[in-house]
Structure 1
Amino acid sequence: MTDETNETAEQNQNTAAEAADFEPLTVTYERLRHSDNPAELSEFARTPLPDRADQAAFSRATALLEAVAGNPHTPVADRVFLAQTMPFPNVLVKLSADPDPSVRQAVAANGDDKNWLVGRLTKDPVPEVRDTALKNKRTSWKMRLEGAQNPEVDAQTLEFLGSLGTDLEEGAPKVLASMVRRAVALNPNTSSQMLAKLANDPSDEVRHAAAGRQ
């Protein structure tokens, strides 16, 4: 048998062995979804993704991260890591419903969120999650307005919302930003310092609302 023939036979054997070891996506997904092995789940959560050029491997890895993200046996630190770093909606949706508030808060701060997802988190029952979501640039103006009207939102978040269109996001739509600042002026949790600032707002409606509170 020639060297070339031997090499071909060896390559065929390696390919056959790899195929035998390869686990179908659905099987691996279910295994990870139900795994109670924190070390295995942590290792998978922290493993760098394949290069996007290898589309098959990349798609497989991102799909499997969804299973890891949704598994309560994945350590909280690793779920927070995924919530902070992943741009993939399928993974972030899983993490946005996580029972641990620190994980949901990390999702709320993720700049890769879809606006509907971060909008959902502006309604979270935990104030820290809700307030973080309201500060995310992905949050829609509708959600920002509702947040500015919410009497449970804290003064620090109201200071952020009350600066939109002036000190922050100067290119923001004037009418929408003005509506949010006016709502901040009317919110009972707005600090006296913020009210004083809004009393000098460039918008007449905002100034009048702030003056009525002083």
Structure 2
Amino acid sequence: MNQNETDQRSEDFEPLTDTYEELRHSEDSDELSRFAREPLPPRSEQAAFSRATALLEAVAGNQHTPLEDRLFLAETMPFPNVLIKLSKDDNDDVRQMVARNPDDKNWLVGRLAKDRVGKVREAALRNSQASWKIRLEGAQDPETTADTLDFLSHLGVESEPDAPVILSAMVRRAVALNPNCSQATLERLAEDASLDVRHAVESRLG
């Protein structure tokens, strides 16, 4: 890279840094909303695309960005830097929307599965990016609701039929042993293909 290119790169970087900091600290909700909703440049325009996604990170992390815009970003954005900012949002609904986002990295889903708020944790458990370890922990958690336990009880059977047999059976067994598991779910698991799952149901039913 020659000196002219280096100088040009520096000139491009500084305005981005300045704009990022302005947006990060801005209290102008209209301006923040405009940036949140502005269509992204084509990915083929690499510099402009990178700049736009960087500025969205600043907007996402600013609590003066209107709630409806933060929810919009949490639901639609596929960019890890933006989702990470939103996963720390003070609003439970924003974190829940991030937990549902199928573009999450599995480690981010794992972090949200340990959120202080139940509906955020359970949204993460239902995310297809959730690891089997996280699913197992959720199935064992006595605070997991009957509806989410029922969702987990279908893994490796009706949903994700190609899932690892042993891991999915471990999750279904944990569901059967969870005190919040509903009678209807237990009755279905009593017919499970896995002997371990059926035995767990028997132990619950006495």
TM-score (norm 2): 0.92
Q: Which residue of 1 aligns with 2:49?
A: 58
Q: Does 1:42 align with 2:39?
A: no
Shift of 1:212: 1.0
Structure 2 equivalent of residue 101 of structure 1: 92
Cα deviation, residue 167, structure 1: 1.0
SS at match of 2:169: helix
For structure 2, the residue ranges without an aligned partner over 5 or more in a row are 1-10
Q: How far apart are the structure 1 equivalents of 2:201 and 2:65? A: 48
Q: Distance in 1 between matches of 2:80 and 2:37?
A: 18
Find the counterpart in structure 2 of residue 6 from structure 1.
none
SS in 2 for 1:24: helix
Query: In 2, Cα distance between the equivalents of 1:23 and 1:75?
Result: 27
- Percent identical pairs in the alignment equals 65
Query: Aligned equivalents of 1:123 and 1:77: distance in 2?
Result: 24
Larger Cα-atom Rg? 1
1:174 is aligned to 2:169 = no
Structure 1 unaligned segments of length 5 or more: list them: 1-19
Offset at residue 23 of structure 1 (A): 7.1
- Take 1:211 and 1:171, find their aligned partners in 2: how far apart are those partners? 26
Q: Which amino acid aligns with 1:89?
A: P
Match for residue 72 of structure 2 among 75, 81, 106? 81
Q: 2:107 aligns with which of 93, 113, 116?
A: 116
Instruction: Give the TM-score taking structure 1 as reference length.
Output: 0.89
| Aligned amino acid, residue 33 of structure 1 | R
Paired position in structure 2 for 1:31? 22
By how many angstroms is 1:211 displaced? 1.1
Q: Distance in 2 between matches of 1:107 and 1:177?
A: 24
C-alpha distance in 1 between matches for 2:94 and 2:177: 32
Alignment of 1:144 onto 2:135:
yes
Tell me the distance in 2 between the aligned counterparts of 1:119 and 1:174. Answer: 21
Return the offset for 1:125: 1.1
Paired residues, what number?
194
For residue 153 of structure 2, the aligned residue among 162, 167, 179 is 162
RMSD: 1.2
Q: Give distance in 2, aligned partners of 1:122 and 1:155.
A: 16
Q: Any idea what SS the aligned residue of 2:201 has?
A: helix
